[in-house]
């Protein structure tokens, strides 16, 4: 049996080589994936590759079926996907899919009026949205620096079951979105 002091010290030991984690260690896998992804997007030359790698890490951390980065129209009517990562054997990479938000517009408009970074929208199998978004829960996270008259970058994750996203995780994802938006705007040909 471990005494309380030993249990506390074991919880602060990393998985690899028993090294201490330190005070600044991020214990949330979603935050870790988003921050690592933001660093990749910022520092790698190939923005598309870095962003897809970040999406793959977030897909695993969130245990999502499908995850995409896209642009939410200023009025909240639709989301234009740009890059997508799908679990299993689905197509990953660039996407031109346009997702209509009309079936969950009430929840979306409340979120757009709020200061929250993330919203989780339940999608029922009887909902018209389920045919376009076959999932139990749709998670949307937006960038913190978005102008009202411009399309807003969002991360859209289709989840099976519920996930409670921590505030630090939604903030980390918004950092990833900001890095992606900055690099996308500075890319030649855009």
The domain ranges of the chain are 26-186
CB 57 within 8 A of CB 47: no
The answer to whether residue 37 scores a pLDDT higher than 90 is yes
User: What is the fold of 26-186?
Assistant: Beta-Lactamase (3.30.450)
Query: In a 10 Å sphere around its CB, with 0-12 CB exposed, 13-18 middle and 19+ buried, how is residue 173 labelled?
Result: buried
Question: Which residues in 1-36 are b (16+ Cβ under 10 Å) and which e?
Answer: eeeeeeeeeeeeeeeeeeeeeeeeebeeebbbbbbb
pLDDT tens, residue by residue, 50-97: 999 999 999 999 989 999 999 999 888 999 999 999 988 778 888 888
- Pairwise pLDDT comparison (14 vs 105), residue with the higher score: 105
pTM: 0.80
pLDDT tens, residue by residue, 127-152: 777 767 778 888 999 987 666 678 88
Q: How many CB atoms lie within 10 A of CB 89?
A: 6
């Amino acid at each position: 049996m471990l005494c309380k002091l030993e249990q506390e010290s074991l919880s602060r030991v990393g998985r690899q080589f028993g090294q201490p984690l330190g005070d600044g260690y991020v214990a949330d896998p979603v935050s870790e994936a988003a921050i690592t992804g933001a660093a990749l997007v910022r520092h790698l030359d190939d923005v598309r590759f870095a962003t897809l790698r970040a999406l793959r890490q977030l897909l695993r951390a969130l245990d999502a079926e499908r995850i995409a980065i896209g642009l939410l129209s200023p009025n909240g009517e639709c989301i234009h996907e740009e890059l997508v990562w799908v679990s299993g054997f689905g197509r990953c990479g660039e996407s031109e899919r346009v997702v209509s938000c009309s079936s969950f517009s009430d929840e979306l408009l409340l979120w757009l009026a709020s200061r929250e970074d993330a919203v989780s929208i339940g999608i029922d199998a009887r909902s018209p949205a389920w045919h376009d978004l076959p999932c139990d829960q749709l998670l949307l996270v937006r960038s913190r620096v978005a102008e009202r008259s411009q399309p807003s970058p969002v991360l859209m994750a289709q989840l099976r079951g519920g996930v409670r996203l921590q505030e630090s995780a939604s903030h980390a994802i918004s950092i990833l979105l900001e890095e992606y938006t900055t690099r996308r705007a500075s890319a030649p040909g855009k």
